[in-house]
Structure 1
Amino acid sequence: MIIVCQKPLKILKISGITLFPFIFIRNLEDKKNKVLINHEKIHLRQQMEMLVIFFYIFYVVEYYYWLFRLKNPYQAYGQISFEREAYANEHDLNYLQKRKLWSFRKYL
């Protein structure tokens, strides 16, 4: 895991994004935000499980599936199984120690 602070994230209005093996955060002080970092670490684990490229393919396909159904980009993002797992468990800082392989499937 490599954490990088990127000012361009301010344009996107997001706090962080994970592109294996990097976690890009908007502000340097976000490096201390344990919940945000945990959320992004969950994405790192998901990406490793799916051999990285399949994660991105599945993520984009799932996003467009939900976008087509819901006609709302924010709601579509919120329905992606990877995001649902990460948001549901981001406050549990021990989640990754007990997480089972391919746990995102229960959020499909």
Structure 2
Amino acid sequence: MFYVVNKYLLRRGFAGVTLYPFVIMRDATLREDAVFMNHEKIHLRQQRELLILPFFLWYGVEFLVRCVQYRNRYVAYRNISFEREAYAQETNFIYLKDRNFWSFLKFL
């Protein structure tokens, strides 16, 4: 995992994004935020499981489906299965040790 700190690479309202193997964050202090880092590590695992490119294809298609479903971009983003898993488990710091393969499917 590599860290990139650059607020200009992120949309307004987003603290960070994971683009395997990079975690891009708005502010360097986020490296010390255990919840933020755990959330992004969950995304790293998801991306590895789906061999990176299929992850982003699935993410994009699911985002479009959720946009039609909810008619709100933020609500759509929060309801993408990958995000639902990461938000649900971001405070569980042992989650990645016990996480099953493709666990994001439980959040569809």
Fold agreement, TM-score > 0.5: yes
Alignment of 1:67-106 (within 5 A): 67-106=67-106
Structure 1 stretches of 4+ with a deviation exceeding 4 A read none
Q: Structure 2: how far apart are the matches of 1:36 and 1:58?
A: 23
Aligned pairs, how many? 108
TM-score, normalisation: structure 2: 0.96
Change in Cα spacing, 1:51 to 1:11, as seen in structure 2 (3 Å) is closer
TM-score, normalisation: structure 1: 0.96
Q: Structure 2: how far apart are the matches of 1:28 and 1:4?
A: 8
1:40 paired residue number = 40
Residues 41-86 of structure 1: per-residue CA shift (max 9 Å, x gap): 0000000000000000000000000101111101100110000000
Shift of 1:13: 2.1
Question: 5+ unaligned residues in a row in structure 2: which ranges?
Answer: none
Shift of 1:10: 6.1
Aligned-residue Cα RMSD (Å) equals 1.1
Q: Structure 2: how far apart are the matches of 1:77 and 1:14?
A: 11
1:30 paired residue number = 30
Shift of 1:89: 0.2
Q: Structure 1: how far apart are the matches of 2:13 and 2:78?
A: 15
Q: Structure 1: how far apart are the matches of 2:49 and 2:4?
A: 22
Letter in 1 for 2:52: V
What is the SS of the residue equivalent to 2:24?
Answer: strand
Q: Structure 1: how far apart are the matches of 2:103 and 2:7?
A: 32
Residues 16-50 of structure 1: per-residue CA shift (max 9 Å, x gap): 10000000011011110010010000000000000
Shift of 1:7: 2.1
Aligned-pair identity (%): 45
